[in-house]
Chains A and B, each alone.
Chain A
Amino acid sequence: EVLLLESGGGLAQPGGSLRLSCAASAFTFKNYAMSWVRQAPGKGLEWVSSITTNGDATYYADSVKGRFTISRDNSKNTLFLQMNSLRAEDTAVYYCAKRTAGSNSPIDYWGQGALVTVSS
């Protein structure tokens, strides 16, 4: 069964940084585009970022563009999200998600999520 395990969440101050990781298993990681999706407390889902299979293209929501960086290490089956210049409105559960193929394909599997809280 596909498994996506996020780590690295926690408390950060406004203007601070955090790096999320997502360890993938039970599928050939390098063959699938990956994404991050977040959900603020009591709110709906928001697509944050996607990355192609080999990392040669990345895409970002306007709300995080220029502050967040998605990357992947196919040798370690791991997805990352570097979050800089954090704001209170970035407080959310961040889900790692596997796509069915390329970055224009839908999500089929989700991780359990990592909580990021931005507060002073």
Chain B
Amino acid sequence: QTVVTQEPSFSVSPGGTVTLTCGLSSGSVSASSYPSWYQQTPGQAPRTLIYSTNARSSGVPDRFSGSILGNKAALTITGAQTDDECDYYCALYMSGGFWVFGGGTRLTVL
């Protein structure tokens, strides 16, 4: 069974830059996995940030960007703000209509 891996937690200073990653327990992430990134604050529904590797969803500021770094998908936040402190999830397409979410990364801004 394929597992999508994310860092359980990460910390960044206000104004700093952080890169979160999304990998596979076996194999590499590519554009054909349509990697996407979702932001979720406690008690709220997820919000789509990035889809299809690097397409920014409507209304998402350009300090959020997506890419493929090596064999993983990556979400980079530049100029981190205190409002960015929440959970971030990635999702990958596994073919045959199946999707898998990563376990999520809890980002702390301090």
Count chain B residues whose beta carbon lies closer than 8 angstroms to a beta carbon of A: 26
Q: How far is the CA of A45 from the CA of B6 in the complex (A)?
A: 13
Is the contact region of chain B dominated by helix, strand, or loop, or is it mixed? strand
Whether B46 and A50, one on each chain, are in contact in the complex, defined by CB atoms closer than 8 angstroms, is no
Q: Mark B82-110, 1 if CB is under 8 A from A, else 0.
A: 00000101010101111111111000000
Contact of A57 among B46, B48, B58, B97 (CB under 8 A): B97
CB of B97 to closest CB in A, whole Å = 3
Q: Mark A99-115, 1 if CB is under 8 A from B, else 0.
A: 01001111111111100
Whether B89 and A106, one on each chain, are in contact in the complex, defined by CB atoms closer than 8 angstroms, is no
Within 8 Å CB of A100, what residues of B?
Answer: 51-52
Whether A45 and B97, one on each chain, are in contact in the complex, defined by CB atoms closer than 8 angstroms, is no
Q: How far is the CA of A46 from the CA of B54 in the complex (A)?
A: 22
Whether B48 and A108, one on each chain, are in contact in the complex, defined by CB atoms closer than 8 angstroms, is yes
Whether B48 and A47, one on each chain, are in contact in the complex, defined by CB atoms closer than 8 angstroms, is no
Whether B102 and A44, one on each chain, are in contact in the complex, defined by CB atoms closer than 8 angstroms, is yes
Count chain A residues whose beta carbon lies closer than 8 angstroms to a beta carbon of B: 23
Whether A106 and B47, one on each chain, are in contact in the complex, defined by CB atoms closer than 8 angstroms, is no
Within 8 Å CB of B65, what residues of A?
Answer: none
Contact of A45 among B34, B96, B104 (CB under 8 A): B104
Q: How far is the CA of A46 from the CA of B87 in the complex (A)?
A: 14
Whether B48 and A111, one on each chain, are in contact in the complex, defined by CB atoms closer than 8 angstroms, is no
- Could you show 17 A-B contacts with beta carbons less than 8 Å apart? A44-B103, A45-B40, A45-B89, A47-B91, A47-B101, A50-B97, A50-B99, A59-B96, A59-B98, A106-B36, A106-B51, A106-B52, A106-B91, A107-B36, A108-B58, A110-B47, A110-B48
**A interface residues with partner B (beta carbon < 8 Å):** 35, 37, 44-47, 50, 57, 59, 61, 95, 100, 103-113
**B interface residues with partner A (beta carbon < 8 Å):** 34, 36, 38, 40, 45-48, 51-52, 57-58, 87, 89, 91, 93, 95-104
